Copies of this chain bind each other. A is one copy, B any other.
Amino acid sequence: MTEERHNPISLQNIRLNDRFWSRRAERIAKEVIPYQWDALNDNVPGAEPSHAIENFRIAAGEVTGEFHGMVFQDSDVAKWIEAASYSLHTHPNPKLEAKIDSVIELMERAQRQDGYLNTYFTVAKPEKRWTDFSFGHELYCAGHLMEAAVAYYNSTGKKKFLTIMSRYADYIDSVIGAHDEKMKVYCGHEEIELALMRLFQATGEERYLRLSQYFIDERGKQPCFLKDEPTFGHLSKTKWFDLDYHQVHAPVRAQTTAEGHSVRAMYLYSAMADLAKETKDESLSAALEKLWDNTTKRRMYITGGLGSQGHGERFTIDFDLPNDRVYAETCAAIGLIFWAQRMLLLSPDHRYADVMERALYNGALSGISMDGKKYFYVNPLEVIPEVAENRHDHEHIQVQRQEWFGCACCPPNIARLIASLGQYVYSQRSSTIYTHLYIGSEGAFEINGQPVVLQQQTNYPWSGEVTISLKIEESQNITIALRIPGWCKKQRIIVNGQIVDNVVIDKGYAMITRKWMNGDQINLNFDMPIELTYAHPKVREIAGKVAIERGPLVYCLEETDNGSDLWSIMLPSESKLESEFQEGLFGGVVIIKGDARRSDNEGWGDKLYSSEKCQTRTVNIQAVPYYLWGNRQPSGEMTVWIRNI
């Protein structure tokens, strides 16, 4: 049975060596993780103090003081440890490891006798433990700590943190669950479900899987305890924070639309996919298919951003995708990547990988600045600074990336994503190696007891040329499944200099099965023209507009390149656009240039309304990759969608 398992490549087995990503991963390891360590320790001048480490000291009784921060402040430390643990694979760093060890020891001292570990409830509300499942984030924090413990164990082999978190999980298992005397509850913010699946994978203890399953099966049963049990019920009175906000409006298998807080939703669906894969629960898989379709065909921004409004950081209704009042939280795009990867493992299909890639290169990556030190929480697709600063319905929009947030969920989340990016590149099922992402790397596999190494070279996302070389001791039958990106309309696959015709395409993967030999080489050429993209005509806010894409990248217009009043630019469908690699810009990027029309705003006069139409003239436009917007100063207007004529 082990042979049939479908797993992502583990971080031990992959090394990135990529023009695009390696410097980002290095920046995460060398600058972001140290910076975030300082932030967690309140050592970043000018930034909001986090107090996150201090909270653990207080909980451990080593200093006195009050809890500060969000109720889920512990999770910032957890995500940081997780990111730092991943970075140890690529950037071994004994000093960093020692720092993590010191935090783990601090956590051990902060852990209660019974295994409980949460600084907010321990320090600020000891009598309120397990009373606020809607917004208390207790199990959520536990989940992030479990993920961190698994990551640290996988990186270092050290077991202490895993033991701490297993104790905590065992304690949770002793107070929550199906047995009569236990609480029948789950967390308002999903996370522990997927974390318990990871704890199960790391420890092999099936009770963690069962507890995760309990949380998933219990979720959304009606009547709902969040609403009906005053002991636990702290549901907000407004509709934006009602049952669907927490994805508890229906049992999970009966949910068909992506509802509520979008990060919560992503974490739930990720856990459901883990559980469906592990237990082969087809009712869960079927529900996930529906949720996937609804999310990606009705409620997803072109950037992979999720969440159409700030209030409730949530999904709204089908096709409601305003570009300026969007939420598209960085964490939600990251959550979509988590979910997409798990859907791939459940059933390989390029649909999942396409969305994973879209979110990765656009809506997630936009969350972090070029220098790795500034972050977007919200990722708008259109920004007019004057509007964002003056309209109340844009209150949640930041027109520049910020140094750190009081609610600092996104910065460590993007750090852990990039630090662990290798795991998204490949997966293996039996003797099939799936290539999901095109990232320069060396991945090591074991097939029939033999080591197989795939060396990938590419200038992706700027070019669609990819070379994959095999290192193998003895030649053997292997299927290499190469994802044909959804954006690609014409591809060429060459093995050892021979074009492969009649290749079997299975759900968007070219399945190259042969007796592979050492030194075999695959050359992929994915045609990567500039595309104009239109949205479903039901998307009111994008009607009559067009976006520019090239390969996996969504492009945008910035004021710096195109002047202000970006809504005055009209891009004809037949426009000739050209791409150009600019070495000096952002360390080398492909920009897109071409002609468009522009209304002559200055020539209009001073009437507010007129029966004469505004004149237009031809202008040059220049588009840059969306993920880079706002990296130049002054950061002005930006738009992804352009009026189409």
Contacts and interface: CB of A to CB of B under 8 A. Distances in A.
Contacts of A531: 611
A391 B310 CA distance: 10
Contacts of A312: 392
A392 to B, nearest CB: 4
Given A302-B609, A567-B540, A643-B543, A392 B309 contact: yes
A10 interface: no
Contact of A297 (B309, B607, B644): B607
A47 interface: no
Interface residues of A, number: 56
Given A540-B387, A543-B567, A599-B537, A392 B608 contact: no
Interface string A546-562: 01000000000000000
A601 B384 contact: no
A317 B643 CA distance: 23
B537 A296 contact: no
B537 A611 contact: no
A540 B568 CA distance: 8
A601 B386 contact: no
B534 A297 contact: no
Nearest to A610: B534
A611 B577 CA distance: 15
Nearest to A612: B534
Interface string A206-242: 0000000000000000000000000000000000100
A532 interface: yes
Contacts of A644: 613
Contact of A320 (B390, B539, B544): B390
Contact of A611 (B325, B384, B533, B539): B533
A325 B324 CA distance: 13
A560 B310 CA distance: 32
Contacts of A612: 534
A609 B607 CA distance: 37
Contacts of A533: 609-611
B604 A536 contact: yes
Contacts of A645: 645
A602 to B, nearest CB: 9
Interface in A606-626: 606-614
Q: How many identical chains are in the complex?
A: 2
Contacts of A614: 534, 537
Nearest to A389: B317
Contacts of A599: 537, 543
A289 interface: no
Given A298-B608, A606-B297, A391 B534 contact: no
Contacts of A606: 297
Interface string A382-421: 0010110011110000000000000000000000000000
Contacts of A296: 608
Interface string A448-479: 00000000000000000000000000000000
Contact of A613 (B311, B316, B390, B573): B573
Interface string A629-645: 00000000000000111
Given A534-B614, A537-B568, A568-B537, A391 B297 contact: no
A608 B573 contact: no
A393 B325 contact: yes
A573 B645 CA distance: 13
A506 interface: no
B393 A393 contact: yes
Given A320-B387, A537-B601, 6 more contacts: A325-B393, A534-B609, A534-B612, A536-B609, A538-B601, A544-B643
Given A311-B393, A392-B312, A393-B393, A384 B534 contact: no
A644 B612 CA distance: 13
Q: Which 7 A-B pairs have the closest CB atoms?
A: A311-B392, A393-B393, A537-B599, A537-B601, A540-B567, A537-B614, A543-B567
